[in-house]
Structure 1
Amino acid sequence: MTAIEHQELKGITIKNIIVTVVSTASIVASVMTTYFNLKNDMSQLRNKQETTDRVNEIRLKVLESEVNILQQQLQEIKYKQLTLKS
């Protein structure tokens, strides 16, 4: 009597079926692992980009306020020069 792995079902051995199923499961597991790793990496990049955007927005607001202050000071200096000349 032969082992079950060597019996044939219409030309297909059970051993071949087992190898095919195990190989397919291995490939699926590999693809799913890669997918979830990439998904996690994308999520981390998105969070980092959002943080960078917030920091840049705050910096821009600070620079805009400094420009406004400098413009006001310049206007005051110009006004003082005009009043001194008059």
Structure 2
Amino acid sequence: MTSIEHRQLKGITIKNIIVTIISTASIVATIMGSYFQLKTDLQGMRALQDSQNRVTDVRLKILESQVAMLQHRVDELNNAAK
């Protein structure tokens, strides 16, 4: 009798099937790990971009208020010069 590793099912050995299944499982695990790592990285970048957008909005509002104040002063000076 031969060992189980050398038995054949229509030309395919049990050992080859086991190696194929383990290799496929390893490849799937690697791809899933990469996918979840990329997903985590994208969420981190999205959060960073959101915070940068908030800072930019605050800066823009400050600049708009300063421009409005300066425009008001220019109008006052123009009215005083007339």
Stretches of structure 2 that go unaligned for 5 or more consecutive residues are: none
The aligned counterpart of 1:57 is 57
TM-score normalised according to structure 1 size: 0.90
Matches within 5 A, 1:62-77: 62-77=62-77
Matches within 5 A, 1:1-86: 1-82=1-82
Alpha-carbon RMSD = 0.8
Pair member with larger Rg: 1
TM-score normalised according to structure 2 size: 0.94
Query: Structure 1 segments of 4 or more deviating over 4 A?
Result: none
**Percent identity (aligned):** 54
SS in 1 for 2:2: coil
Stretches of structure 1 that go unaligned for 5 or more consecutive residues are: none
**AA at the equivalent of 1:60:** L
Q: CA deviation at 1:2?
A: 2.0
SS in 2 for 1:2: coil
Work out the number of aligned pairs and report it.
82
